[in-house]
Amino acid sequence: MANPERRRPRRAQGELEAQVLAVLRTADAPVTAAWVRERLGDDLAYTTVMTVLSRLLGKQAVRRRREGRSFVWEAAGDEAGLAALRMRRVLDRERDRRAVLARFVTALPAEDEQVLRDLLDRTADERTN
């Protein structure tokens, strides 16, 4: 049995994914899982990094392509795009989208509500032109 004194505290859900994405965003080009693992500097197993990258791929948060005998990875978007994707996934799981959107909008601070209204108006204008 492992020595409990040597155990690292358990990460919060999604924390390692966020760290991997942050590392990928620092790269100038697509990188290998080994490169990501090295940058994390946390003595993580290679298989752990690969599992996280695979999960992120399933969430469309990263892209990969084959390069030689391995894959190279890159973030699929910026933080705002990834947050929007997460919000969309939450909404997609709900039966009553209208109710969820209504609650979301009514819970926004006035400044955020105005930003949303401006964005919706701009989108509507772009569709009509």
Distance CA 94, CA 43 (A): 39
Q: What pTM, to 2 d.p., does this model score?
A: 0.66
Mean pLDDT over 6-12 rounds to 65
Answer yes or no: is pLDDT of 13 > 80: no
> Residue 95: its pLDDT value, please?
94
Distance CA 91, CA 102 (A): 12
Distance CA 10, CA 4 (A): 12
- % of the chain at pLDDT higher than 90: 58
Per-residue model confidence as pLDDT tens digits over 56-95: 999 889 999 999 999 999 999 887 877 887 788 888 899 9
Residue bearing the bigger pLDDT, 52 or 78: 52
Residue 126 Ramachandran class (φ > 0 left, ψ -120 to 50 alpha, else beta) = alpha
- Name the residue among 35, 85, 84 with its Cα closest to residue 57: 85
Distance CA 113, CA 84 (A): 16
Q: 54 pLDDT band (50/70/90 cuts)?
A: very high
> Residue 12: its pLDDT value, please?
64
Answer yes or no: is pLDDT of 2 > 70: no
Provide the H-helix boundaries in the chain: 15-26, 33-40, 46-58, 79-92, 97-107, 110-128
